[in-house]
Amino acid sequence: MTQTEPQTRTGTQPETETQPETKTQPQYVLSVYQPDGPVPGAEDLARIQRDLDALHRELKASGAWVFAGGLHPSSTATVVQLHDGHVFTTDGPFAEGKEHLGGFTIIRAPDLDAALEWGRRLAEAITLDGQDGLPIEVRPFQRQPEG
C-alpha cells in the first residue's frame, strides 16, 4: 500500500455534525508557536482559555477532535540524544530561537482546506487584542497502512 497525500477541495468548511467516516479521514497537527518572554495577564489568559474551550467543544461535536495540549515553557525541556552509542541529556530546548512550540491540536479533516480553516479559528482564539496572532503550522500526518 502506498502513502497518499490529503486531497484539497477549495472552500471546504469544518464539519458541524459528527460523521461516521471521520475515523478514516487524514489527521493534521496544528502547532502553535509562541515567543519567549512574559506570559499574558490573567484577564487575557482567561479570555484565551474561554475561546479555546469553545473551539475544542466545536471540534469534538464535529468529530474532528483527536487531542490537544499546551506545553510548559521551552526552558523546561530536556533533549535526549544518542551519540557514539551513548545517550546524552541536555537541559533546555533543542533549537535555540525566539519562538518555540507552545502547544498543539491534532484533528481529523477531510482535506487541507478544512484543516486550514480549523487552524484559522485556532489562531483567532489565541490572539491577544490589538496584537498580531501567533503562527499556527498546519501539517498532515503520514498515513499508515491499515492492518
Residue 104 lies in a domain: yes
Q: Residue 121: count other Cβ atoms within 10 Å of its Cβ.
A: 17
Could you tell me if 86 and 95 are in contact, meaning their C-beta atoms sit under 8 angstroms apart? no
pLDDT at 14: 43
87 occurs within a structural domain: yes
Count of beta carbons in the 10 Å neighbourhood of residue 65: 20
pLDDT score of 22: 62
What is the total count of domains within the chain? Answer: 1
Which 8-state DSSP code applies to residue 109? -
Environment class of 106 (CB within 10 Å of its CB; exposed 0-12, middle 13-18, buried 19+): middle
Q: Is residue 119 part of a domain?
A: yes
Range of the domain at 32: 25-140
- The answer on pLDDT for 119 being more than 60 is yes
- In-domain check, residue 89: yes
Residue 1 maps to a domain:
no
Q: Which residue has the higher pLDDT, 115 or 35?
A: 115
pLDDT of 88 > 70? The answer is: yes
Q: Would you say residue 128 lies in a domain?
A: yes
Interval 3-37: pLDDT, tens: 444 443 333 344 444 444 567 899 999 999 998 88
**Whole-angstrom distance, CA of residue 28 vs CA of residue 138:** 7
Q: Whole-prediction pTM value? A: 0.79
Helical H segments across the chain, by residue range? 42-62, 112-126
Lowest mean pLDDT across 65-69, 75-79, 112-116: 75-79
Q: What is the strand order of the sheet 27-35 is part of? A: 65-70, 99-108, 27-35, 136-140
Domain CATH number, residue 136: 3.30.70.1060
Domain-embedded: residue 73: yes
Position 5 in a domain: no
